[in-house]
Amino acid sequence: MKTGIIILVIVVLGLLVVGAFLSGTYNGMVQSLQQVDQQWAQVENVYQRRADLIPNLVQTVSGAANFEKSTLTEITAARASVGQIKLDASQAPTDAARLAAFQQAQDHLSSALSRLLVVVERYPDLKATANFRDLQTQLEGTENRIAVERRTFNEAVMAYNTRVKTFPNVMLAGMFGFQPRPYFTAKAGSDTPPAVQFDFGNKPASSR
């Protein structure tokens, strides 16, 4: 009987150790995944902030005489294409293709915005408006925040993916439904925020 009690104690202790291991592993993966989802929400927020600034930007520059309408049309269409890709702001994408499509649309909008700002350089009088100066500050800040939040998102994904892919977590991740998440991948050069510069000095407007 004494031997049986010892064996029972050993079994119970073993189960407690295994239970503690499973609990710690599961909780750790949950915590890492929550950090990924939280950071994804931040990425969505800063992109949405930029999208919200664009109508004011378009309205401001469209007031300039003879402003190129094709440029305004392009940036408006690019903003609309971003809105057509619906991703859950509370949960990071699990599909790399969906994340790539989202980023492609955002890159298109960035390119259109950059071209718009190049065209704006031909209209130095725009810098005299208070609304335009305010947009300069907000756009610069938003582009910088986008770069920061993307980088932080990738760091969170790397930490999570490392956790679910390394031993012994990898043996349990699939059982609990924890799958690696795709990274934010950007085109070459996009880690540098596009220049948003409206101070044109005394550069004369182009003649028409």
Asked if pLDDT for residue 193 goes beyond 70, the answer is no
Distances (CA, A) of 61 to 89, 125, 134, 147: 31, 10, 13, 25
Cis peptide before 168 (omega within 30 of 0): yes
Which stretches within the chain are classed as H helix? Answer: 2-61, 69-83, 96-120, 130-165, 169-176
Share of the chain above pLDDT 90, in %: 29
Strand, helix or coil for residue 196: coil
Cβ pair 157, 182 in contact under 8 A? yes
Q: How many residues does the chain have?
A: 208
Which of the 8 DSSP states describes residue 93?
A: -
Q: Residue 187 has what pLDDT?
A: 57
Separation CA 44–CA 87 (nearest Å): 9
Predicted pLDDT at 208: 37
- Average pLDDT (114-134) is 78
Structure tokens belonging to residue 69: 């309408």
Which pLDDT tens digit goes with each residue over 73-86? 888 899 999 888 88
Alpha-carbon span 139 to 129, nearest angstrom: 16
Comparing 207 with 107, which gets the higher pLDDT?
107
Summarize pLDDT for 18-75 with one digit per residue, the tens: 777 777 788 889 999 999 999 999 999 999 999 999 898 888 887 766 677 888 888 8
> Greater confidence, 48 or 191?
48
135-146 exposure pattern, b = at least 16 Cβ within 10 A, e = fewer: bbebbbebbebb
98, pLDDT greater than 70: yes
More confident residue, 49 or 122: 49
Q: What is the mean pLDDT of the chain?
A: 81
pTM of the model: 0.76
Which residue's entry shows tokens 């407690």?
16
195: Cβ contacts below 8 Å, ≥ 6 apart: 114, 117
**What does the alpha-carbon distance between residue 153 and residue 42 come to, in Å, rounded to a whole number?**
8
